[in-house]
Amino acid sequence: MDIFLLLLGFGLILLGIVGAFLPVLPGPLTGWFGLLVLHLSPVIPMNWTFLGITLAVAILIWLLDYFIPAMGTKKFGGSKYGVYGTTIGLIIGLFVPIPLGILIGAFLGAFIGELIYDSKDINRAIKASFGSSIGLLASAVIKFFVAFIYCILFFMKIWEYKGVLF
């Protein structure tokens, strides 16, 4: 049973890292479930403080993930149309079968949204789209960093209890 929980937890940790780049998966939150599954093993004692702090961080990052691309759009002079376009572009970009579909989708979504708002100011639309892309990349970097830290914590726990686990 311990090995099964260990493998399941590791799978969730890996999904958390992948989820840092895919908006469909809440990266750090999925990684946190990997930590939780590891602590559900009878061999590793439940540490509520550790799990509570890591859960709070995962939820904070999950919430910020929805605001950072929009904040980037606003910071670079975008309107609410650009913010809505960014969100719609992110969703459409998920289904585009190219590696940068999400980034291109957010950029084009913000651009189209800004053109709907004011079709005469193309420079502002491009600037807001650039802000959207920077916000999306910043969000992905933050999520990856937290998911990677969760991966390190996962392996530290395994190393700490390696004598009992294996």
Distance CA(157)–CA(15), nearest Å, equals 18
Examine the pLDDT at 94 and tell me if it is beyond 90. Answer: no
| The pLDDT value given to residue 152 | 97
For the chain, the domain total comes to 1
Distance CA(6)–CA(83), nearest Å, equals 41
Place of tokens 């493998």: 7
Digit-coded pLDDT (tens) for 115-141: 998 878 888 888 888 888 888 888 889
- Mean pLDDT over each residue of the chain, to the nearest integer: 88
Distance of CA 115 to the CA centre of its chain: 28
More confident residue, 76 or 35: 35
| The pLDDT value given to residue 1 | 77
Counting beta carbons within 10 angstroms of the beta carbon of residue 8, is it exposed (0 to 12), middle (13 to 18) or buried (19 or more)? middle
Digit-coded pLDDT (tens) for 25-39: 788 999 999 999 999
Q: Which domain holds residue 121?
A: 2-165
